[in-house]
A and B are shown apart, each in its own frame.
Chain A
Amino acid sequence: MDPAADRDEFLMAQVALGQVHLLEPLVRRHATGLLTFLTRMLGDRHRAEELFQEVFLAVWLKRRQYDYPRPFRPWLYAIALNRCRADFRLRHRPPVPLSTVDSVDPPDPEGSPADRAIAGETAALVSAAVTQLPPQQRAVVVLRMWQGLPYARIAELVGCTEGTVRSHMHHALQALHHLLRPLLHPSSLPDA
């Protein structure tokens, strides 16, 4: 098989030409990343899955707007980000308080249950802390931390300059510094 034929961009170009069955590999290929992005952005897994479907439906509907060989992934995340923003506008979701966050599946399933529980809780608290960030900062942090996008690409996606993106990142880190302090200094946790 031609390796180029397996690239996202080629597949998307075929999808744009009406090859709906080629959408499936794209969905599968970006399922984890996109769902992670949506979950981190929304702080709500169920809503993230709903939006996941809407994002790919949008990909299908906007397929004629895709401009091959433009990179597929940023285009996908741009769609996703717009969906999230629309969702924020519609729902006005309040930030999830740190004390009410659900546990997150631990990254290392092979650790002890206690470690896994702590890791899961820690991951949940970190996720919740990220959710506390303002949407713009949250988008920058999520795209940077979990999608690993360089700041320049993030600037393209969120529609602002790279300096602004770096500024958002800087302020987000300062906010996280305070939000994650209990995790790094257990003594500073409030009394139960």
Chain B
Amino acid sequence: MSAASDHVDRLVDAYVHDLLSADEAGRVEAHCHACPACGRALDLARRRLALLQAVPAVEPSAALVPATLEHIHDYQYRRTQRRNRIAWGLLGSLAACTLVLIGLQMYYALLRPGTIDLLVLGQNQLLAATRTSLRVRVVDRNGGAAMTGVPVVVALLAGDGRSEELARFTTDAQGAGSPPLQVPDWADGRYELVVSALTPGGTQTLRRPVQLRRSWQLMLSTDKPLYQPGQTIRMRALALRRPDLRPVAGQEAVFTLADPRGTVLFKHRAPTSQYGITASDCPLAAEIAEGAYTLACKVGDTESKQTVEIKRYTLPKFLVDVKPDRSYYAPGQLARVRVQADYFFGKPVAQAAVAVGVWVKDAGEREHATVTAVTDDRGAAEVTFMTPAALVGQPGDGGDARVRLVATVTDPADQKETRAVERIVTPRLVRLDVLPEAGTLVQGVANTVFVLVSRPDGTPVKGARVQTTGAVTTEVVTDDRGAGSFQLMAAAGAADLNLVVVAPGGEVLERTSRRLEVRGDADDFLVRTDRAVYRGGETMTVTALGNGVEPVFLDLIRDGQTLLSQTIELSGGRGEQVVDLPADLFGTLQLVAYRFVGPEGLPFRKTRVLYVTPPDGLQVHATLDQPEYQPGKQATLNLRLTDGKGRPTPGAISLAGVDERVFHVLAQRPGMEATFYTLEKELLKPVYAIYPWSPDDEPNATRRDQALFAATAGVTPPPPTAPEAQATQLNASGVHTLAMRSLPEVQQAVSKLRERRLDQVRLGWAVLAAMAVLSGYGLLWLFLSVRTVLIVHGIAGLGLLCMVGGMVFLMLMMGGRAGSKFSGVAADGRFFAAEKSAAPASGPPRMAPEMSGMRVGSGATPPRVRQHFPETLVWKPELITDDAGRLPPLAIPLADSITTWRLAASAVSADGRLGAAQLPMKVFQPFFVELNLPTTFTRGDEVGVPVVVYNYLDRPQTVALTLAAAPWYSLTGPAEQKLELAAGEVRSTRYTLKIDKVGTHRLKVTALAGGVGDAVEREIDVVPDGRRVETAHSGGLARPAEVTLDVPANAVDGSVKAFVKFYPSGFSQLVEGLDSIFQMPYGCFEQTSSTTYPNVLALDYLRQNRLSVPAVEAKARQYILLGYQRLVGFEVAGGGFDWYGRPPADVGLTAYGLMEFQDMARVHDVDAQLLQRTRRWLLGQRKPDGSWEAMRGAHFAGGGADADTARLALTAYVTWAVFADGQMANDTSLTRNWLLTHRPETVADPHALALLCNALLAMDPQGTDAAPYLARLAELRQTTDDGRQAFWARPAGARTLFYAGGVSGQVETTALAAGAAARQGPSAGERPPR
């Protein structure tokens, strides 16, 4: 009997369904035989199997198979239909696209521009709120006909959408027009000028950017040309608007004074008045350095500069005039030289000794002869000498030589003055200039050729006969101006002329030959004006000669603006146009004549310069109430303004009264404003090259003017008519800065459009091809078997692979040839400027307390003491007249100087007319005494002070001189002296003084003679005679500062001076000596670094603070470049640096070099690979524990510290260098861990600790690691006794990493510690001072 657990009833189904293994099946079968229950279960399982098997198969209906086949057939049919539709659709689309592309291709390939050409000539810079003009011409290039009656519109567009129509006109018979344009008063900036011509063939439009600006002309003037320390520079600027030169009111002017190094010492802002005048006074410090200072005045972008000399000087005592009898001499010729000497108060220097030295120049300058004489009662003397027979010619004088005559005059009072003049010595008798009227000869036209005959000094030779042979045979006789002219019909090539100049007496003065170039252009033409110098309002007749009928266009241009435009019709090779010059037109004008020549109609220009004198200049009428004044009295000056015709004109007058003697220390020409404003010297340069000429000199010298101006003629031929040149716009010349034409633009536009569209069509073809390929590919899938498609894929893939491979190969080949790009470091063009505001001007001139005359009672009243001796007596920058041009009488309190004052008045009217006048004002008294003092005395000197007595009374005088005693000197000899003077005599005596005290003192002398007397008191500086001892203190002014100065016990009494200088920043103090900071690198690595590293840091500072001065920066960059080139030469093969570039490299030195190069990279191009290579080399030297060790014998070894500290310091330093700025960030962990093993409290050396802080901050700028070390560093900080300075000290004898000990070591340690604290930034802890 089987146990229940052995029953297999659960397996019987598996058994009957053959799911059991053979063993299990056998077991089940056996068990079922034995077990009735399981046998029943097996039976049931078999019945279940039978039930399942008894389920009949499902027979398909008769229709199923046909329906299935029909279904397949239908599907196939529909699919084929769909496929065919797709295929046809694709093919149809492709065909349609092909047709469209063919059509577009043909259309754009055949696209051609029109033939209408719009030409515009003008200027691309327009002055706001002025009138200007523009030349517009419309022609049809198809036949070259000018298009008349074409409406043209000129408009100006602003970027913000504003627009203004400037002109609207229709073209004239030449298809041209030159409308006057009123430029709007818009802000300065870029705008767009649009010119549109409504031609029958469509609208032609030209657009060009133009610059709208305001331009001023500014003239800065000072009361005098040179100053002494302690005086006041009085400046005045006159600002006039270009081009009409009307005063600019209400503009801010900025006056500056810069010292010889360019440091701005003074800055003052002032608005211009209604007459465009502004003024400023700049007092000079008594201690100011001497040199050439630059004054500048800036209004808007316009700046006017003037250089003034600041130095100590003494004024001359009298004026010496040297007049040779000829303006030039022949070698070996007798020369007479007249010397005239006059005191500045008008009296002649009689009985003065004259010595004239004749100096010649060969290898050097040597004295050829000295001749002497004595002046007569009129102050005149004459000497004669023979010029040397042989002299060395100088290239600068065209081969002529010069002699220098130095006249020294010593008056009876032993006062000495010297004056020198030069004269040319030449064997040539005349100079001959031959000038064609147009600069060059014009072929086929009767050219006027001017001849100018002059002496070597430029004076004209009248009546000379100039005989010409060669290209023309003629003879002309020169007129009063030495000028003559003849006509020359030029043939092609050049015209050779043989010229002989014959004096009126028949003497042949010159034989020469000249070759004149002939321009051979068929369209060349000649423009002739009846004169070269005009007055405003006059009529100018312009004649044009040339072939053809093409008209000649004329533009009158001033200040870059077209003022007038005219057209000359040519008929029979000649045309004439009368141009009425506007009355308000004056100055230097450019006459630009041009024709549009050739098939392209390009302009062929001729320019020449004309000068229009102001039609009606201002006249300044200045009169004094007396012809002569006494010192200390008052003069009255009457000033009045009229125009040229005497009509009263209101305006403003600037008045300066300066001691005449000042101008004889240096020369200056006051009252040059009219010339300054109206002469364009650049344009007139050829005139100046020929003769020292001014249009103001000889306005009626017509022929000579014309001859001179012929030299200013210029020709601008049309640009080459090569296709590429045609494609571009008109070439802009100097006069027509805006030159444009529409045809090339249209051609270009059409060409561009054609190219662009054809490109698009090509792109369309490419897309179509791609679509065709894709369609084919799709159809491939639609119609072909998978196998075929795969084969096609394989072939296509192979082809594609080959193509890509080829392209990559080509790219690699081309890439290998591509150039490298270099980028430079842009220089910051900011100028460094230290500003220093000056103290307000000093008070009014100190006047003598008593204004009495020289006459004294019989000993009762002492003579008036003359003690006020200013160099500038009066300075009125702006005196505004009433409507009648009058000023109330101007009272001028006179100083005590006995001299002639130069009163210079410059005037400007409201409409910008200028005028100037100069008036001498003599101040004199017949008896006076004068002290001749040097600029300074030196303490301890014993000097003889000359006292000069002038007696112009009509009788002899016995003069009692008394020198007032003063504690600053001791007198050697009596204080009272007597002098006997004849009438009109000048004599001197001397007082010998021993100078005892330093400082500014006064010296007074009194002269009394029978009823008359005079006293003079002058100021004199006494400088100390000892050794200069300077002590400097510096610091910030965050709090009130107090400085204690130790004066040496043996300091010279009165010599102690304290100067306080304020600087806007700490570094600006250094800027004073910036030139010396930057040094030329030299020597080994250490020396090169010692010079280069400061250069790098200083330049970096300047640039970061935008203080860089270009000149200084250029110098610094040059030195840095040299230093860099030297430093990289010390790199050892294999990496790292050594003192001399020899292996092995030094770790510490390499880290130092790396740090220097990294800093240098901020201001200079440094090879990035060098930096990376050096970092890698240093990392390669790192020990496995993350530290660095000093190399054997290395200098950078940590100095005298113990080995562990030295290693810590070196490791920290190298870490700082290698990992600075986040470099090699992935390699930090090893070193960081090693450094952090040194607990803060265990590091006692502040130097190593400071380096450690910097190293940790380099790796972790957030400062998490560094915080405890910085706290420890703060603990080690020491302070001075007053608690105001902090520092980090090291034990005596300890050396830093860089071998610095003592104070240097402390400075280095303090700098490193402060740097670390600064890098961390302000934290909760106190921040160490920087």
Are A and B subunits of one complex?
A: yes
**Which residues of A are at the interface with B, using a C-beta cutoff of 8 A?**
20, 23-24, 27-28, 31-33, 35-36, 39-40, 45, 48-49, 52-53, 56-57, 60-61, 64, 104-107, 119, 122-123, 126-127, 130, 141, 144-146, 166, 169-170, 173-174, 176-177, 180, 183-184
Contact B58 A32 (CB under 8 A): yes
Considering the chains assembled together, what is the distance between the CA atoms of A146 and B13 in angstroms?
Answer: 17
Question: Could you tell me if A57 and B54 are in contact, using CB atoms closer than 8 angstroms?
Answer: no
Which residues does chain B contribute within 8 Å of A144, judged by CB atoms?
17
CA distance in complex: A28, B65 (Å): 6
Instruction: Please indicate the chain A residues that have their CB under 8 angstroms from the CB of B71 in the complex.
Output: 53, 56-57
A49 to B56, CA, bound (A): 17
Binds A, one of B45-53, B483-491, B910-918: B45-53
Candidates A39, A64, A177; contact of B58 at CB < 8 Å: A39
Inter-chain CA distance A123–B50, complex, in Å, is 11
CA distance A122 to B48 in the complex (A): 11
Contact A176 B48, beta carbon cutoff 8 Å = yes
| A123 x B54 contact (CB < 8 A) | yes
Q: Which residues of A have CB within 8 Å of B76? A: 20, 60
Query: How far, in whole Å, are A71 and B786 apart by their CA atoms in the complex?
Result: 21
Kindly state the separation between the CA atoms of A61 and B78 in the bound complex, as whole angstroms.
13
- Interface SS majority for chain A: helix
Report the minimal beta-carbon distance from B81 to chain A, rounded to whole angstroms.
Answer: 16
What residues of chain A lie closer than 8 Å to B17, measured between beta carbons? 144, 169, 173
Given A31-B60, A36-B58, A170-B14: A176 touches B68 (CB 8 Å cut-off): no
**Given contact pairs A169-B17, A169-B19, A180-B48, A146 touches B68 in the complex (Cβ within 8 A):** no
Contact yes or no, B48 A177, CB < 8 A: yes
Cα distance A23–B47 when bound, in Å? 39
Does B841 touch A at the CB level, under 8 Å? no
Do residues B69 and A23 form an inter-chain contact, with CB atoms below 8 A?
yes
Least Cβ distance of A180 to chain B in Å?
5
- State the CA gap A123–B60 with chains docked (Å): 17
Given known A32-B58, A173-B13, A184-B47, contact A126–B52 (CB-CB < 8 A): yes
Asked, given contacts A20-B72, A57-B75, A177-B13, whether A27 binds B58 with beta carbons under 8 Å apart, the answer is: no
Could you tell me if A49 and B48 are in contact, using CB atoms closer than 8 angstroms?
no
Whether the pair A123, B55 counts as a contact (CB closer than 8 A) is yes
Q: If the complex has contacts A57-B71, A57-B75, are A126 and B54 also in contact, measured as CB distance less than 8 A? A: yes
Q: In whole angstroms, how far apart are the Cα atoms of A146 and B73 in the complex?
A: 30
The listed residue with most A CB atoms (<10 A of its CB), out of B14, B19, B57, B786, is: B57
Closest chain A residue, CB of each to CB of B59: A32
Q: Which 10 A-B pairs have the closest CB atoms?
A: A107-B56, A173-B13, A31-B60, A36-B58, A39-B58, A36-B57, A123-B55, A53-B71, A53-B68, A35-B60
Pick the contact of A104 from B14, B56, B785 — CB < 8 Å? Answer: B56
A56 contact set on B, CB distance < 8 A: 68-69, 71-72
Is B67 in contact with A53, judged by CB distance below 8 angstroms?
yes
Q: Are B56 and A105 in contact (CB under 8 A)?
A: yes
Q: Is there contact, CB below 8 Å, between B65 and A33? A: no
Question: What's the minimum C-beta distance from A172 to chain B, rounded to whole angstroms?
Answer: 9
Indicate if the CB atoms of A52 and B53 lie closer than 8 Å.
Answer: no
In chain B, what residue has the closest Cβ to A180?
A: B48
Known: A24-B65, A27-B68, A53-B68. A174 touches B60 (CB 8 A): no
Task: Name the CB-closest residue of A to B13.
Answer: A173
Contact residues in B for A61 (Cβ distance below 8 Å): 75
How far is it, in angstroms, between the C-alpha of A145 and the C-alpha of B52 when the chains are bound? 7
A52 to B17, CA, bound (A): 28
- Do A64 and B786 touch across chains, with their CB atoms under 8 A apart? yes
Secondary structure class of chain B's binding surface, majority of residues = helix
Residues in A whose Cβ lies below 8 Å from that of B13: 170, 173-174, 176-177
Ordered by A's residue number, 13 sampled pairs between the chains whose C-beta atoms are within 8 Å are: A24-B65, A27-B69, A31-B60, A31-B64, A49-B60, A52-B64, A53-B64, A107-B55, A122-B51, A122-B54, A127-B55, A146-B55, A177-B48
A52 surroundings in chain B (CB, below 8 A): 60, 64, 68
Assess the B47–A176 pair: CB atoms within 8 A: no
B1237 part of interface (Cβ distance < 8 Å): no
CB distance from B1148 to the nearest CB of A (A): 73
Among residues of A, the one whose C-beta sits closest to the C-beta of B70 is A53
A32, chain B: closest CB distance, angstroms: 5
B1318 at the interface (CB under 8 A from A): no
Given contacts A53-B72, A184-B48, 7 further A-B contacts (CB under 8 A): A31-B60, A31-B64, A52-B68, A122-B54, A123-B56, A145-B53, A176-B13
- Per the bound structure, the CA–CA distance linking A126 and B52 in Å amounts to 6
Q: Does B61 contact A (CB under 8 A)?
A: yes
Most chain A beta-carbon contacts within 10 A, residue among B52, B69, B73? B52
Contact check, A32 vs B60: say whether CB atoms are below 8 A apart: yes
- Residues of B within 8 Å of A45, CB to CB, are 58
Q: Which residues of B contact A107 (CB under 8 A)?
A: 54-56
Q: How far is the CA of A65 from the CA of B57 in the complex (A)?
A: 30
Q: How far does the alpha carbon of A184 sit from the alpha carbon of B45 in the complex, in Å?
A: 10
Q: Assess whether B44 is interfacial by the CB under 8 Å rule.
A: yes
Of B44, B45, B52, B61, the contact of A49 (CB 8 Å cutoff) = B61
Please give, as numbers and ranges, the residues of chain A lying within 8 Å of B59 by CB-CB distance.
32, 35, 105
Closest residue of A by beta carbon distance from B75: A57
How far apart are the CA atoms of A39 and B64 in the complex, in Å? 14
Q: What residue in chain B is nearest A122 (Cβ atoms)?
A: B51
Complex interface: chain A residues within 8 A of B65 (CB): 24, 27-28, 31
The closest CB in chain A to the CB of B49 belongs to A145
- Check if B54 sits within 8 Å of A119, measured CB to CB: yes
Q: Which residues of A contact B52 (CB under 8 A)?
A: 126, 130, 141, 145, 176
Q: Could you say which residues of chain A place their CB within 8 Å of the CB of B67?
A: 53
Return chain A residues, CB-CB under 8 Å to B19. 166, 169-170, 173
Give the chain B neighbours of A49 by CB distance below 8 A. Answer: 60-61, 64
Closest to A127 in B: B55
Q: CA separation between A28 and B56, bound complex, in Å?
A: 18
Contact yes or no, B69 A33, CB < 8 A: no
Please give me the residue from chain B that is nearest to A29 by CB atom. Answer: B65
Q: For chain B residues 28-58, which have a beta carbon within 8 Å of chain A? A: 44-45, 47-48, 51-58
Assembled-state Cα–Cα distance A105/B54 (Å): 11
CB-defined contacts of B48 to chain A, threshold 8 Å: 173, 176-177, 180, 184
Q: In whole angstroms, how far apart are the Cα atoms of A36 and B53 in the complex?
A: 13
Q: Which residues of B contact A39 (CB under 8 A)?
A: 58
Whether B73 pairs with A20 at a CB distance below 8 angstroms is yes
Kindly list chain A residues whose C-beta atoms are within 8 Å of the C-beta of B14: 170, 173
Residue of A with least CB distance to B52 = A145
Q: Which B residues, 780 to 820, have Cβ-Cβ distances below 8 Å to chain A?
A: 785-786
Measured in the bound complex, the distance between the Cα atoms of B19 and A144 in whole Å is 11
Residues of A within 8 A of B54 (CB): 107, 119, 122-123, 126
Chain A hits for B45, CB < 8 A: 177
Known: A27-B65, A31-B64, A64-B785. A104 touches B55 (CB 8 A): yes
Distance in Å: Cβ of A28 to nearest Cβ of chain B: 5
Q: How far is the CA of A36 from the CA of B55 in the complex (A)?
A: 10
Q: Within B1244-1293, which residues are at the interface with A (CB < 8 Å)?
A: none
Write the chain A residue with the least CB distance to B71. Answer: A53
Residue of B nearest to A64 (CB): B786
- Tell me the complex Cα distance, A16–B73, Å: 15
Q: How far is the CB of B1167 from chain A (nearest CB, A)?
A: 64
Q: How many Å lie between the Cα of A101 and that of B702 in the bound state?
A: 135
Bound-state Cα–Cα, A183 to B48, Å: 9
Q: For residue B12, give the distance in angstroms from its CB to the closest CB of chain A.
A: 9
Decide if A23 touches B64 in the complex (CB within 8 Å).
no
B57 and A32 contacting across the interface, CB-CB below 8 Å: yes
Could you say which residues of chain B place their CB within 8 Å of the CB of A180?
48, 51
Measured between alpha carbons, how far is A56 from B53 in the docked complex, in Å? Answer: 27
Scoring B48, B59, B786 by chain A CB atoms within 10 A of each residue's CB, the highest score goes to B48
- Which chain B positions have C-beta within 8 A of A40? 58
Q: Nearest Cβ in chain B — how far from A155, in angstroms?
A: 13
Which B residues are CB-close (under 8 A) to A104?
55-56
**Chain B neighbourhood of A53, CB < 8 A:** 64, 67-68, 71-72
B contact residues around A119 at 8 Å (CB) = 54
- State in angstroms the CA–CA spacing of A114 and B86 once bound together: 61
Cβ contacts under 8 Å, B60 to chain A: 31-32, 35, 49, 52
